[in-house]
Structures are given as C-alpha cells and as structure tokens.
Chain A
Amino acid sequence: MDRLMARGVAIGYGGALIVRDLNLTIPTGKVTALVGPNGSGKSTVLKTLARILRPQAGEVILDGKAIHAQPTREVAKKLAILPQNPSAPEGLTVAELVAYGRFPHRRGLTLTPSDRRVITSVLELTGMDPFADRPVDALSGGQRQRAWIAMALAQETDILFLDEPTSFLDITYQLEILQLLRRLNRDHNRTIVMVVHDLNLASRYADHMVVLKSGRVVTEGAPQAVVCREVLRDVFGVEADIVADPRTGVPLCLPFDLAAGAGQASSHPAPSEGESLDVLEAAEGGVR
C-alpha cells in the first residue's frame, strides 16, 4: 500500500505555475530519485510532497488524507525532510542538533529516556557517535551531512526526503551518504525520496526514478526502464551511450555530445524559471 501520492498538484509562486497537474505515487519501502535538469522543478516537487510548500491546486495525500489537512506536528512523525545545504547555528554540537530532531515527539522541555535512546542509536547508525560533542560547523562536509541525516532520523519517520544530499561532496562522501541511505532503506525499511543531480548515482542507488522536465513527469520507473538514450536526449539535451554497470547491471550513461539543436537555449529548458524562483523563494522565505 503506497502511503504518499500527489493528485493533480499545481505549484507556483505569484501567479506563475512551475508545476501543473502533477500525479505521482511514491512507492513505499523503496528509494525514489527525482531527477531532471536544472529548473525542472524537482526541488519544488520534493518540498510540496513534504508539505513545506502548499500546492495551489490538487492535493498531496499521506495515508489516505490530504497532508495539509493533518496537524503538521503529526505529519512530522511520519515524514522528515532534509533541505539542501542546511545550516546550523554557530557552535551547535552534533548531539544538540540530533536532539532537535526529537522536536515533534517532545512535550516538555526535557528529553525523556526514550528520546536519549533514539539519539544514541541514530548517532551510532550514522557513525557520528565519536563526533557527538563536536560543533557541527567544525565538521567536514561529509560528516556534517551525516549529522543532519542523523537529525532527520531522530525524527523516527518511515519516510525520509532529502534535497540533493550529495551536492558539494567529494565522491567518497557521496558514496558514503548514498550507502547510508540504502542501508536505511534495506535494513530499517525507510522509504526514501531524494533529489539527485548525478544520473549515474541515481541509477545505482535508486529503485525508482522519476524524470522531471519543466514541472512535468516525463517518465518514471526502474532505472533500467528510465535511463535510455531518448530520455537523455529529450530531457537533458545530450547524446549519450548507455552501458550496463559491469557489477550490478544498472544502466550508466556516458554523454558524448550535446543533442542536435540542443544549445543552451532550445531544448534545455529556458534559463530555468524554476531555479530563479527557487532563489527568490530562498531569499523571501516562502514558507507558510
């Protein structure tokens, strides 16, 4: 039974719609990757699915009910979202940050023994226990990202959203994060939805891929069904060879040229309306 879906969702800011009539079902218990070129609206879709943005039309449904009609604190016990490049206040330690993840479960000012158990276990799970007392801003990029993931895990939700969890990380840390996410999915049965920039990483670590272009779902399915020459040409505007990964058989793409007529201006979506709006949104803080 799939718990989360979008039904006829339209999303926009100040009149301009970025996403229209989006219908999407997130497979429960799987790793889903949202991919697409810059400005395709993947971040916007992610935030809307996680009820951070309110759609202008249609609804996001969680467990059979409109997500915006449910108390936001209850929703926070079911799904967690890690935005892109979150920033921690100066001097905040990893243990403190992770404790903040208990917010939706807390009543009083103090942590209960069960809060503490959860914090300890997510610190171990993410390998952050040796760094518990370190300030978050003094960590390396990969450690910092794991600290934030630990915080999101402390929320104890079945569904975890991540907006480009591997951006700005070295390849080592990218693999480290993605393997952690896969382990959370396989061993702890978490449903994971993430925006991923790198198609090959998405193909390797996702069970289900959703390809977006200009706010529409172009295609979705298993990586084998989605990653193909046509999609790369039509969506990303590149010609690529697709080869099977010698280890796992998942399709990997090797772009070799821009698609015919695919200059920056034409088939590559126009200087990304979505992206400039994302910037605007970050500056204006468009959260209800």
Chain B
Amino acid sequence: MTIRSLWSDSSQSRTRRTRTVMIALVLLLVAALLVSLDTGYIRMSPVEVVRTFAGAGSTEDQLALYSFRLPRLFIAVLLGVGLAVSGCVLQGVSRNALADPGILGINAGAGLVVMLFTFLYPTNDAVPTWLLPCLACVGGGFAGWLTYALSYRHGGVSPVRLVLSGVAVAAGIDAAMIVLTVRLNPDRYQFVSEWLAGSILGSSWAFVLALLPWLLVLLPFVYSQAAVLNVLNLGEEMAAGLGIRVERARIRLLAGAVGLAAAAVAVGGAISFVGLIAPHLARRLVGSNHLALLPASALVGGLLVLVADTIGRTVLQPSEIPTGIVVAVVGAPYFLYLLAKSDS
C-alpha cells in the first residue's frame, strides 16, 4: 500500500497537496530536532552533536546528549503527538472545533490522580514511572466518563452539552487540586505547580518508555477508526444511516482519546491548547479527512511542543519557562480567535 493510496479518499490535487504537506512537516520536525539537540544549558555545535553520536564526544557532551537532551526531545514530541491526536479525535467525535482534552476535563482528571499519588507518596522514587500513565488514565477516564454521563440525555450526547459538562468537570477538579496544593508542603507545592504549568518533568528514558507503549497501541487503534470519525463528522443521523452504531463508536473513540491525553499528561504535565491548536492547523493544511488529518495533527502537535520546549529551555537560561506556558502564549490568543470566529 503506497502512501498515495492511503489518502486516496481525496481528489488527485488534494492527494498531492497532502503528500507535500506531510513531507514538509516531517522535514520541519527533523530540522527542529536538530536545532533542539544543539541548544540547551550546554551548548553544542551540530558538529559536536554528530561527533558525540559517533561516539567521539567528551564525556560531558555524551551525558548531556544521551541522558538529558535526547529523552527530553522524545518526550516533547511524543507528548505533542498524543495530545494533538487526542484533540483531533475529540473534535471529530463532538463535532466541536473547541473540544480538547483540557476542555473536556480529561487533563484535569489525569492530573488530579497523579497529584494525589505524589501527595500520598512524598518521594519521587517511590512511584515507578510506568505507573504514572496508568494512574492518569484512571483519573482522565473517570473525568471523561463524568463529562459524558453529565451530558447524556435521551439516549445520546449532544456536542454542546458535552463541552459544557467538560468545562464544569474541569473547573471542579481544578478547584479540588487547588485545595490539595494548599495543604502540601512547600517543595511538593513547587512540584505540583510546575506540573500544572506544564513543564516537562520527565526527562529520562524511563519516562519515554512509560509513554511510548500507550502511543504504540492507541495511535494505530485511532487511525483504524479514521473512516468512522469521518462519517461521525457528518452528523449522527447521517452516521447512523451509513451503518454506524453511533453511541458505541463514540465511546470507543473517546476511550482512545482519554488514553492518549492521560498518558501524555502524566509524563508531561498539564500542557493545554496543543490538542486544540494542532488539529486546527492540520485541518487548514490537509482538510477534514481523518485519514490525512490524524497523521498531520500528530506531526503538527509534535512539532509544536518540541519548538515550545526548545524556546522554554533557551530564552531565560539558566532557568526554564514551563513548556505549557510557551504553548499558552500562542494557544490562548488562538483559542480566543476560534471562539470569536465560531460565534459568527
């Protein structure tokens, strides 16, 4: 199966355009990775990076590259991919351009459980890293279920109710988190507030390994549902007429989206707006067909978080701006712009 035939739902010109966009995004991502590898607390020239990869770098360079920088870059990209695809699915399922794992309360739920856990186990080492995404998934799943249950009426869920309930659930959980942070000791408080601001905490391979399996399972699953997402996007009557069991399909897809967002949030902190912006930009580039939109969203999301993380690490050296803040600087105005546009 060639790449061309994969996007063959589209017309020829759309197919060509989609391919060009995909290639451009991959190249951009590679370029961003190369730049990001060179920048940081220890500055390395591209030549030094290559030399270190070839095994001829100084011990210090090797340590910086293999133990800190590479895992961090991986995390940033994986995080962006997870959140972006999650947002793309949520937008497709709810037929709502403003849906995002943050808005539907999934991030908050995931965060609350992770935070409760750090509250109960005050030392970082006590919690095995792989457990974090699982815990977050429980929390995110619960928040997602609560949102869904609150918006369930007459055998179905309307997009508007879904978003309204999500906002309410997220607000409630955020309030609970604030109450909890007040009771934490100062350095725990520091940790939690950094997490809430969306700083990428896990910069070790253990975090990469904790996140990777989730993406390896959930991304192919979600992609296998691309045609279902397309049809759901036409409205539920249309989808039902085309032979989809609408409620089941929604739950299946929501579960996938919750898993992706929760795993990402557990590792990377509450980075908002990625799930909102990335699918939007991708839609502008490749259109609404999820066969192309899902991979394009993933690439845009990965790129977005990677660039934001690189900026956050460099502009205020030696201190860092949390990645979530950098994303929000772009994301918040974009969200407002979408809000203003959707009103008309």
Q: Please report A residues at the B interface, Cβ cutoff 8 Å.
A: 13-14, 47, 50-52, 71-77, 80-83, 86-93, 95-97, 99-101, 103-104, 106, 109-111, 132-133, 155, 161, 280-281, 283-288
Contacts and interface: CB of A to CB of B under 8 A. Distances in A.
Given A88-B288, A287-B236, 5 more contacts: A14-B154, A52-B241, A81-B241, A97-B234, A100-B230
B13 interface: yes
A87 B288 CA distance: 13
B160 to A, nearest CB: 8
A73 to B, nearest CB: 4
Contacts of B323: none
A76 B287 contact: no
Nearest to A136: B288
Interface in B120-160: 153-160
B1 A110 contact: yes
B245 A155 contact: no
8 contacts: A75-B243, A80-B241, A88-B234, A103-B243, A283-B160, A284-B158, A287-B155, A288-B156
Interface of B: 1, 5-6, 8-11, 13-14, 95, 153-161, 223-224, 226-227, 230-231, 233-238, 240-247, 283-284, 287-289, 291
Nearest to A47: B237
Nearest to A85: B235
A286 B11 contact: no
B245 A72 contact: yes
Contacts of A284: 153-154, 156, 158, 161
Contacts of A72: 240, 243-245
B10 to A, nearest CB: 6
A73 B159 CA distance: 24
B241 A83 contact: yes
Contacts of B284: 91
A221 to B, nearest CB: 28
Nearest to B13: A133
B155 A288 contact: yes
Given A90-B288, A96-B14, A103 B237 contact: no
Contacts of B236: 285, 287
A103 B231 contact: yes
Contacts of B230: 100, 103
B11 A109 contact: no
Nearest to B12: A133
B289 to A, nearest CB: 5
A50 B243 CA distance: 11
A13 B81 CA distance: 42
B11 A155 contact: no
B281 to A, nearest CB: 13
A69 B235 CA distance: 23
Contacts of B153: 284
Nearest to A98: B9
Contact of B242 (A89, A92, A100): A100
Name the residue in A95, A96, A133 with the highest tally of chain B Cβ atoms < 10 Å from its Cβ. A96
Contacts of A82: 238, 241
A162 B231 CA distance: 18
A103 B155 contact: no
Given A13-B154, A96-B9, A96-B288, A109 B227 contact: yes
Contacts of B287: 91-93, 96
A165 B9 CA distance: 26
Contacts of A83: 235, 237-238, 241
A252 B237 CA distance: 33
B158 A73 contact: no
B237 A287 contact: yes
Contacts of A14: 154
A86 B161 CA distance: 20
A285 B231 contact: no
A60 to B, nearest CB: 14
A213 B79 CA distance: 57
A14 B153 CA distance: 10
A77 B242 CA distance: 8
Name the residue in B11, B157, B247, B284 with the highest tally of chain A Cβ atoms < 10 Å from its Cβ. B11
Name the residue in A13, A89, A92 with the highest tally of chain B Cβ atoms < 10 Å from its Cβ. A89
3 smallest CB-CB distances across A and B, nearest first, come from A76-B243, A73-B243, A89-B288
B242 A155 contact: yes
A286 B155 contact: yes
A52 B237 contact: yes
Contact of B291 (A51, A88, A95, A109): A109
A236 to B, nearest CB: 27
A83 B10 CA distance: 24
B50 to A, nearest CB: 38
A133 B11 contact: yes
Name the residue in A14, A80, A83 with the highest tally of chain B Cβ atoms < 10 Å from its Cβ. A83
Nearest to A107: B227
Contact of B288 (A13, A75, A92): A92
A131 B339 CA distance: 31
Contact of A287 (B1, B8, B246): B246
Contacts of B234: 86-89, 97, 100
Given A52-B237, A76-B241, A281 B9 contact: no
A89 B238 CA distance: 13
Nearest to B236: A287
Contact of A111 (B8, B155, B237): B8
